[in-house]
Amino acid sequence: MDIKSFLNNPKIKYGGYATIFTFAVIAGILILNLLVGQLGWQVDMTDRGVYTLSQQTRDVISELDQDVTIYMLARRNQEDAQIMEALNRYAQASNRIRLETVDAEQDPAFVARFDPEGEGLRNGSVIVASGDTHRAIQGVDLYSIDRRNPQAPRILGLNVENRLTNALLFVAAGRTPVIYQMTGQGQIDLAQQGMQRRLGEQFRNANFELRTINLAQAPQVPDDAAIVALVRPRTDISEGEAEKLSTYLNNGGKLFAAMELAAGELPNLAGVLEQFGIGIPVAVLVDPDRNFNNGQPLELWPQLADTSITTPLVEANYRVFTPLARPVVELDTKPRSVTIDPLLVTSAESFYRTNLEIPSPTMTAEDFPGPHPVAVRAIEREFTTGDEITRIVVAGDVDFITLVDQINGNLDFLMNSFAWLEEQEQTLSIRPRTTMQWPMQTTGMQKLIFGGLFVVIIPLAILITGLVTWLRRRHL
Amino acid sequence: MIAIMIREFRTYFQTPVGYVFMGLFLLVAGFFFTFGNLMNNSSYYTSFLGNILFLYLFAVPLLTMRLLSEERRQRTDQLLLTSPITVVDIVLGKFFAAMLVFLVTLLVTVLYAVVVGIFGDLAVWQTVGGYIGFALLGSSFIALGILVSAVSENQVSAAFFTFFALLFIWFLNLVKTVAPTDPTASTIFAAALVLGLAGFFFANTKSWIASGAVVLLGAAAIVVLHLLHPPFFNGLIPDVLDWFSLLDRYDGFTLGLLKLQEVVFYLSFTSIFLFVTIRMVEKRRWA
């Protein structure tokens, strides 16, 4: 049989054409689908923009100059759909970001590369890697969880963007800022605070490394110090330590200090802070305004000022609880090169008292009327050029740090303060995205009425109408 | 087309079929809403829509079983096919009539969302997206039901085969979770696809040569892919099943994402089944 007669065979001619036509249409539709899939157009229909990247993240992504791979550790087809969608936004936002799924159970050797200390990276976690640098995020940290009731923590939403953008910043920078915590005066270790939310992990997630230093023994603050933290000194620092700290700050160092009332006079430390116009009088803050205390005038819920550290808390409806605070004041001797912004402020009814022997909860003639700052931040700039020299955050309370487990605002205030000191402000205002919807409020009677309507009355009415129609038409 | 659509829509409510479909659909949906949302005070409405997807298994056969098979059984298809109406009009008219009944039923369920809106925290746009997805998935299944109805001899067999076709789609979703991902299994799977394609060619052309050519081309494509892009065969089976999974594609709508690719996919699925149905009926017209 030659080709001509083969092609003229009616079965081939018509059946073949029909089959090819059918395939051409189906193939065309498939190609259209593949092309549309490449476009990735979508609309986020959630009220809170759960799957929309913030401008801050888009800025971070647009500045990436290296390839980054996001590994989702999960069994195939068992990935959390919400997390995957949130991660997909990153991969779609830049050609430099790739998203891959790896099963940690199937490929433990792969996971071991990113978990040399065996901290337990398992399915559900995410790894952000670029070159030799990587950041692992535990699965639980990808969610925003309400832990006020430790027995029954509730998932409120997703915290993917905050974690991922921080991790991107970390792998892009390729270095971890080190926080040196001063020791020797009975200070507390930030890494050990928090039972359920270990602060150590929080700092690691925020790209910080916590180390300790005894400045009395060290010749100076180490060169790799990004921030020095002085948290709850029970006694004053020595003159030598104060000198080393001053030198560090005057050379562009950054300081976070949190003091408790019980420490009393701290003249050497006060001397360091005075250079920047910050005063820490030995006094107790009293706020009789019930809107700003916890039922007791000494237990404060101060107002949040409008700063890059505190505004994200206001937007999230968070407040900061400071159970027993001393004032942090701006001194009249403040140098003109320093700008001081209050962060937490007591109400207009408040006052601070230096004579701690007075038992009265109301203001006396000896007291100093408010409002007063509970915490401040300061920036010192080069007077002529305006270039920043140093950043300082001082809080007149320490207990807020030990309460990070119970109060979201306390944790965010602390972490935002360190992020501001390290000039990582991009991620400060990236809030967790709430996916929780408030439950319905219905009475038993309403449930009964609507349940009866939906399960009995509507279906039955339709079925009876059908029966009547059928019976009528049967006799036509 | 509109005349056929109106006639079919009326037929649904001149016979018990439309009422039984609506009544049973709303009974089960009402039950799920009452005990899933109302009694638990849950405002998660898109989860409710996701939970009642299984209803399609029973509702779609009921809706589509008689559309073309009954014409065939009663020989009224001869009248239709010889009338001055195109096959496209016939098939689309019937499809849109079934869709209309389905959408009217779906409209009643909006009452549930209103209750959530009044007494709870309804994510309005997410719910709108959920309904769009639900309707698109429904249109795909209805198109499938019409195809089965077109090739069935009577209503009962049409309902039976539509149910099993839908069950197969649900079953595929389970299969992909246990499907082998190794290159050997993927190669066998690709070879089976090529053989299936060749079988389709043979069924239409009865030509061993044409079908053999398809097998040769397919085999060559497999070899070339193995040489040029071996990772293509890592997890090919779950990848293909994932891509074609109608149910997985609905997940985005549940989450509150309206993706163009999912909308186009469902519309494509619907179009392909309607297209094949039209080809089938046309083939009979000229047979």
pLDDT in tens, B67-80: 887 777 777 777 77
pLDDT score, position A211: 94
Is A470 within 8 Å of B123 when comparing Cβ atoms?
A: no
Asked if B259 and A450 come within 8 Å (Cβ–Cβ), the reply is: no
CB–CB of A473 and B272 under 8 A? no
Nearest CA distance, A45 vs chain B (angstrom):
5
- The per-residue pLDDT for range A301-318, each reduced to its tens digit, is 999 999 989 988 887 788
Report CB contact under 8 Å: B177, A77: yes
Section B80-103 average pLDDT: 88
Predicted confidence (pLDDT) per residue in B29-57, tens digit:
999 999 999 999 999 999 899 999 999 99
Is B268's pLDDT higher than 90?
yes
Alpha-carbon distance A353 to nearest alpha carbon in chain B (angstroms): 47
Chain B positions touching A9 (Cβ under 8 A) are: 207
Between B15, B206, B257, which is nearest A15 by CB?
A: B206
Rounded CA separation A18/A320 (Å): 73
Which of A39, A455, A470 to mutate against chain B (most B CBs within 10 Å)? A455
Closest CA to B44 of A145, A439, A393: A439
For the stretch B150-190, pLDDT in tens is 888 888 889 999 999 999 888 888 887 788 878 888 889 89
Count of CB contacts below 8 A, A vs B? Answer: 190
Distance CA A206, CA A223 (A): 21
Yes or no, beta carbons of B272 and A36 under 8 Å apart: no
Which chain B residues have a beta carbon less than 8 Å from that of A39?
260-261
- What is residue A37's predicted lDDT score, i.e. its pLDDT? 85
For the sheet containing A368-369, what is the strand order? A284-286, A351-353, A368-369
Q: Is residue A377 scored above 70 in pLDDT?
A: yes
**Average pLDDT along chain B:** 88
Among B287, B170, B181, B173, residue whose Cα is nearest residue B235: B181
Spatial contact of A306 and A352, defined as CB atoms under 8 Å apart: no
**Is pLDDT above 90 for A227?**
yes
At residue B236, the pLDDT reads 84
Please report residues of B whose CB lies closer than 8 A to that of A440. Answer: 37-38, 41-43, 115-116, 119-121
pLDDT in tens, A117-153: 666 788 999 999 998 888 888 888 888 877 667 677 7
Residue with structure tokens 């994932």?
Answer: B242
CA separation for the pair B153, B156 (Å, rounded): 9
Exposure of B114 by Cβ count < 10 A (0-12 exposed, 13-18 middle, 19+ buried)?
exposed
What is the mean predicted confidence (pLDDT) over B195-207? 81
* pLDDT beyond 80 at B63: yes
B112 touches chain A (CB under 8 A): yes
| pLDDT recorded at residue B285 | 66
- Contact at 8 Å (CB) between B77 and B90? no
> Are B94 and B67 spatial neighbours (Cβ–Cβ below 8 Å)?
yes
Rounded distance between C-alpha atoms, residue B95 and residue B144, angstroms:
10
With pLDDT > 70 as the criterion, what percentage of chain A qualifies?
Answer: 93
Higher pLDDT, A237 or A112: A237
Rounded mean pLDDT, A350-371: 87
Return the percentage of chain B with pLDDT > 70, whole number: 99
**pLDDT confidence band for A7 (50 / 70 / 90):** low
Residue B99's pLDDT band (cuts 50, 70, 90): very high
Closest partner residue to B14 (CB to CB) among A6, A438, A473 is: A473
Instruction: Enumerate the domain spans of chain B.
Output: 2-179+246-286, 183-234
Contact A45 B268 (CB under 8 A): no
- CA-based nearest residue in chain A for residue B28: A455
Q: CB-CB: which of B23, B258, B268 is closest to A32?
A: B268
Q: Residue A225 pLDDT more than 90? A: yes
The residue with greater pLDDT, A3 or B190, is B190
Q: Kindly report the nearest CA distance between residue B102 and chain A, in angstroms.
A: 14
Q: Most A CBs within 10 Å: which of B15, B17, B24, B26, as the mutation test of the A interface?
A: B26
pLDDT greater than 60 at residue A1: no
Quick one: tokens of B52?
């009642």
Distance CA B106, CA B96 (A): 15
| Chain B contact present for A43, CB below 8 A | yes
Instruction: Look at residue B1 in the predicted model and tell me its pLDDT.
Output: 79
Secondary structure (H, E, C), chain A: CCHHHHHHCHHHHHHHHHHHHHHHHHHHHHHHHHHHHHHCCEEECCCCCCCCCCHHHHHHHHCCCCCEEEEEECCCCCCCHHHHHHHHHHHHHCCCEEEEEECCCCCHHHHHHHCCCCCCCCECEEEEEECCEEEEECHHHHEEEECCCCCCCEEEEECHHHHHHHHHHHHHHCCCCEEEEECCCCCCCHHHCCCCCCHHHHHHHCCCEEEEECCCCCCCCCCCEEEEEEECCCCCCCHHHHHHHHHHHHCCCEEEEECCHHHCCCHHHHHHHHCCCEECCCCEEECCCHHHECCCCCCECCEECCCCCCHHHHHCCCCCCECCCCCCEECCCCCCCEEEEEEEECCCCCEEECCCCCCCCCCCCCCEECCCEEEEEEEEECCCCCCEEEEEEEECCCHHHHCCCCCHHHHHHHHHHHHHHCCCHHHCCCCCEECCCCCCCCCHHHHHHHHHHHHHHHHHHHHHHHHHHHHHHHCC
pLDDT above 60 (res A459): yes
Residue B259, chain A, CB below 8 Å: the answer is: yes
Least CA distance to A468: which residue of chain B?
Answer: B16
User: Does the distance separating the beta carbons of B259 and A451 come in below 8 Å?
Assistant: no
How far is it, in rounded angstroms, from Cα A182 to Cα A210?
11
Facing A442 at nearest CB: one of B41, B176, B283: B41
B270 or A13: which carries more pLDDT confidence?
B270
Distance from CA of A422 to the nearest CA of B (A): 36
Between B239 and A10, whose confidence is greater? Answer: B239
Q: Exposure string (b/e) for A38-73, b if CB count within 10 Å is 16 or more?
A: eeeebebbbbbebbbbbebbeebbeebeeebbbbbb
What three-state secondary structure class fits B160?
A: helix
User: Rounded distance, CA A102 to CA A115, Å?
Assistant: 14
Cβ <8 Å between B271 and A36:
no
Q: Distance (Å, rounded) from C-alpha A314 to C-alpha A409?
A: 9
Report the relative pairing of strands A329-330 and A278-279 from DSSP bridges.
antiparallel
Give the pLDDT of residue A122.
Answer: 86
Q: Residue range A178-193: average pLDDT?
A: 90
CA A189 to chain centroid, in Å, comes to 21
Question: Which positions 433-472 of A are in contact with B (Cβ < 8 Å)?
Answer: 437-442, 446-447, 450-451, 454-455, 458-460, 462-463, 465-467, 469-470
Q: Which residues does chain B have within 8 Å of residue A450's beta carbon, measured at their own beta carbons?
A: 34, 38, 115
Task: List the single residue in A33, A447, A466 with the smallest CB-CB distance to B38.
Answer: A447
pLDDT of residue A304: 95
List of chain A residues whose C-beta atoms are within 8 Å of the C-beta of residue B16 = 466-467, 469-470
pLDDT of residue A239: 93
Q: A79 in contact with B at a CB cutoff of 8 Å?
A: no
**Euclidean distance between the first and the last CA atom of chain A, given in angstroms as a whole number:** 64
Contact A141, A205 (CB under 8 A): yes
Q: CB contact, 8 Å: B128 with chain A?
A: yes
Q: Give the pLDDT confidence score for residue A4 in this predicted structure.
A: 66
Closest Cβ–Cβ partner in B19, B257, B265 for A42: B257
Residue A440 and residue B120: Cβ atoms within 8 Å? yes
At B70 the pLDDT is 76
Dist. CA A334–CA B163, nearest whole Å: 81
